[in-house]
Amino acid sequence: MYVVTGGAGFIGSAVIWRLNRAGITDILVVDNLGHADKWKNLVNRRYADYLHRSEFLRLLRDNALPGGIQGMVHLGACSDTTQGDADFLMANNVAFSQHVCRYATERGIRLVHASSASTYGNGSEGFASSREILPRLKPLNMYAYSKHFFDLWLLDNGLDGQVASLKFFNVYGPNEYHKGSMRSVACKAFGEIAATGRMRLFRSSSRDCADGGQMRDFVYVKDCAEVVFWLLHNPEVNGFLNVGTGSARTWNDLARAVFAAMGREPGIEYVDMPEALHGKYQDFTQADMAWLEEKKCPVRFVDIEAGVADYIRYLQGSDPYLEMCPA
């Protein structure tokens, strides 16, 4: 059996899709479905059972989970970078993750955990996913700090050699419609362009960067699922691992890729960045992906032109690749 926490979410449902492609259906999905529409992400997935996160946590604490668990993919977390309730983030993103980690490592269960590239802060320490630079990182918001704090906990307790903690960069792709304001810009742009023929990007707050010239490492969710799948079956590969293409591209590049995939002429409008993001916005991220070659991981990432084109086909209803419900 495999356990996927956050299994009804964006990356989680893609991981289940990848497991299903390999014929694996003995999967325990853990999530908090509530009144949101993310249940739709599970309609075309095959899995054995579902548990609410609170019930899963109770079973963890009581050492009462079923036996035969081969691997856990812990993606369940609050991913809202504007979340201001620090106590909630520490409970949800740190304490919960610690319970999962202790349970898995004490029983020799393979654990793949979701960290975040936001832990790199302004990038002054670079983007090498090494344990040496980890203590020097300065996250820019509370969400990032919660992810960073857990990574430090892994390091301080000597558990980074038993857990693969993945620093996901800017992920986009199918099944993110339920994320509201946290949807990728590619997803938001599709709706904006379809409705108005234009899309909006933030003006730059730096004199060294043109409007829309801020750069990110945009990574397609299908490629993320491939990395997770490979790591589940290569338990000797652990530590803090980046998941990105290794190539930074501008928001303008992303916008042009969306317009091209939709067969539209580019029409970009630049708007002021919200006050709440000032001082908390990363102008540049680029994953150091040296570990792929070092660990002989065969996954290769598509560029944004190919990834966005595939995603837009899905949003337009002509791509059955993931067989997931459209927005």
Q: Which stretches within the chain are classed as H helix?
A: 10-21, 53-61, 86-89, 96-106, 142-156, 185-196, 221-232, 251-261, 290-294, 304-315
CB under 8 A, 24+ apart: contacts of 151-155: 151/115, 151/119, 151/240, 153/94, 153/98, 154/101, 155/131
| Range 69-106 burial, b when 16+ CB lie within 10 A, else e | bebbbbbbbbbbbebeeeeebbebbbebbeebbebbbe
Q: Which of 244, 17, 34, 228 is CA-nearest to residue 113?
A: 228
Residue whose tokens read 């035969």? 68
Are residues 148 and 220 in contact, defined by beta-carbon separation less than 8 angstroms?
no
The residues annotated as belonging to the active site are: 143, 179
